[in-house]
Amino acid sequence: MSKRYTVMLFDLDGTLIDTHELILASFMHTLERHCPGKYTREDVIRYMGEPLIDQMRRFDPDQAEAMVHTYREHNIQHHDEYASAFPGVVDVLHRLAEAGVKMGVVTNKQRKTAEMGLRLLGVEKLMQTVICFGETAKAKPHPDPVLTAMKRLHGKPDQTLMVGDSKYDLMAGKRAGVASALVGWSMHDSAELRALEPEYVLNSPEDLLGLAGIGPKGTS
């Protein structure tokens, strides 16, 4: 971990915010309303990380738009009830900001719920750019959102790290020509994801400090 990254881009759900149960609850509420009895939690988990409309089209292309509306209504209503920061994440983000690391969010969520999540964690002011679904020509796993965020932060590819929990994050980072880090605290960590060969697998949020050249507290 001798390389030092000056720009770090983060996925949101499953990376900074534990929204696993929120997402599943919103999906199951939606699926039971529109496709009762047809799908299980495992069916949902398989495609977590994709743009929401793409996920709904997999379940029922004819009802996809209505299902997105139902999902978002439930998700917003119950967001703060279910969502929380992963342990250690908020402290690490503050330490990265204090050390001058430029940070941004690259997510396939809509802006309203992305901003709700950042406010819940109290880190919205630490993120110098936030790229949400629909704000670039294509979403992750295409590189457009990563490239756009990197450009806004004046980052160089060899000094930029994409941090995420899904194959869509890792693929977007690789296609953008930047290093990627897979978070080991997510439910998605698996042999399949590691086979995508991320440059780093993080055991805890504190591992990001080493990648920014930041030593333990009390050291320089």
Known catalytic residues are 11
- Tell me how far CA of residue 215 lies from CA of 113, 158, 194, 209, 219, in angstroms: 34, 21, 27, 7, 6
Radius of gyration of the chain, Cα coordinates, nearest whole angstrom: 17
Tell me the pairing of strands 102-106 and 7-10: parallel
What's the sign of the alpha-carbon dihedral 43, 141, 80, 209?
positive
Q: DSSP string spanning 84-135?
A: EEPTTHHHHHHHHHHTT-EEEEE-SS-HHHHHHHHHHHT-GGG-SEEE-TTS
